[in-house]
Structure 1
Amino acid sequence: MNEILFGALILSILHALIPSHWLPFVTIGKTEHWSEGRTLTVTALAGLAHTVSTSILGLIIGYAGYELSESYHELAESVIPAVLLMLGLWYLMQHIRHSHAHEHIDPSTINGKSFKALLLSLCLGMFLSPCMEINAYFLSAGALGWQALGFVALIYNVVTLAGMILMVWVASRGLRLVNAHWFEHNENLITGLTLIGLAILNFFIEF
């Protein structure tokens, strides 16, 4: 189970760092002249909508893993690495094609909306765009039982949400800890290489 939890942790950290998960909130907050507190609150609510929808989908997929629990070794040793590898290659192709596969929010669509309408739009947009990469770990965790599934869901929700809030806080204070433009331009490349690395890790290494 350790490799599943480790992979879930790495992907959760990666998602928190991806600009599409936090940069729009910084941009919108500045455009709307929000206070730091309001920007962080909106980030937390929209981020929670995103992680909850991903977790709901993950739990459904995890149930499939639970049903396949007797075939866990085959699932862990072949299916999970294969899924991660295919996702990784897909993201690399998106990078080559310069497509922003991780874009959840378009800041240009917010003009003229009231705060309540804007908040609803952000939460709905994030809820309707769950992240698929983590679901390979939900599938594998489901084969180990509901406790493992709960751990993966907890790691994903806490780490991703905390990371999004931290990145918005850092960016809103003008600290240049990361090159957001470079990260945004190469996020598909980074995601793809991370998924391929995790596929190799899951295939060759047992913790």
Structure 2
Amino acid sequence: MNQIIFGSIALSVIHALIPSHWLPFVTIGKAQGWGLGQILRTTLLAGAAHTLSTTIFGLLASFAGFQLAENQHIIAQRVVPLLLLVLGIWFIMQHLRGDEHRHIDEKIVKGKSYKQLVFSLVTVMFLSPCFEISAYFLSAGTMGWMSVATIIIIYNILTIAGMLVMVALANHGINRLKVHWLNHNEQLITGLTLCCLAIFNFFIEL
């Protein structure tokens, strides 16, 4: 269980820090003349929608894990590292191909009122779940629903809180917050993180 908790914390923090999850809210908010409160509320709603859809997908993975509970050790020590490694390689390949990991196209602001824009942002984020955490949902499912609930709490709280913190920091110094390198390499960072977690889960049993 400690492996799952550690991995979920690491992925949730990385997930929250990558610019595609928070920078659009700052740039859109600035362009629309929103105050920090409006930007944070929008980020909270959109972030909650994003983590909700990811959690729904994770619950499906957890249900599969629940059905395979008798193979818990194999899933934890073999299947989960393999899934993490495959996902990690996929993200690295996306980076090498030059594909951007983008949830929000900032062109959606055109001709929309505040409520329409918030609805659009929430919808877009809900329809673009992230699957990096799904391997840990699968593993947690083999241990029971309390373990699944733990992953849900960790993932949702850390992801949304991280997005809000980054938005607040960027809002106070968007020109001083150097995000270009991070924005350009976020898929590489995610991929390397997943590969490291795969190795950690394969060789270390906590």
Tell me the TM-score range normalised by the shorter chain. Answer: over 0.9
Identity of aligned residues (%): 55
1:175 Cα deviation (Å)?
6.4
1:60 Cα deviation (Å)?
1.3
Q: How does 1:2-81 map to 2 (within 5 A)?
A: 2-81=2-81
What RMSD over aligned residues (CA atoms) do the two structures have, in Å? 1.1
Q: Which runs of 4+ in 1 moved over 6 A?
A: none
Q: Give the structure 2 partner of residue 134 of structure 1.
A: 133
1:109 Cα deviation (Å)?
2.3
Q: Give the structure 2 partner of residue 202 of structure 1.
A: 201
Q: How does 1:99-178 map to 2 (within 5 A)?
A: 99-100=99-100, 102-174=101-173
Query: 2 CA distance for matches of 1:179 and 1:95?
Result: 20
Equivalent residue letter for 1:158: I
Query: 2 CA distance for matches of 1:39 and 1:175?
Result: 13
Equivalent residue letter for 1:174: G
Query: 2 CA distance for matches of 1:41 and 1:54?
Result: 20
Query: 2 CA distance for matches of 1:32 and 1:111?
Result: 10
Deviates more, 1:16-25 or 1:106-115: 106-115
Q: Which runs of 5+ in 2 are unaligned?
A: none
1:108 Cα deviation (Å)?
1.9
Query: 1 CA distance for matches of 2:29 and 2:115?
Result: 14
How many residues of Structure 1 are paired with residues of Structure 2 in the alignment?
206
1:116 Cα deviation (Å)?
1.1
Query: 1 CA distance for matches of 2:177 and 2:186?
Result: 13
Equivalent residue letter for 2:96: I
Q: Which runs of 5+ in 1 are unaligned?
A: none
For 2:102, what is the secondary structure of its paired residue?
coil
In the TM superposition, what whole-angstrom CA distance separates every residue of 1:95-151 from its partner, at most 9, and x where no partner exists? 101101x31001122111111110110000000011100000000000010000000
Equivalent residue letter for 1:73: H
In the TM superposition, what whole-angstrom CA distance separates every residue of 1:17-54 from its partner, at most 9, and x where no partner exists? 00000000001000100011000000000000001111
Scaled by the length of structure 1, the TM-score of the pair is: 0.97
Equivalent residue letter for 1:10: A
1:165 Cα deviation (Å)?
0.4
1:176 Cα deviation (Å)?
7.0
Contact preservation (8 Å) 2:108, 2:117: no
In the TM superposition, what whole-angstrom CA distance separates every residue of 1:67-87 from its partner, at most 9, and x where no partner exists? 100000110111000000000
Equivalent residue letter for 1:58: G
For 2:166, what is the secondary structure of its paired residue?
helix
1:177 Cα deviation (Å)?
7.7
Query: 2 CA distance for matches of 1:180 and 1:22?
Result: 11
Scaled by the length of structure 2, the TM-score of the pair is: 0.98
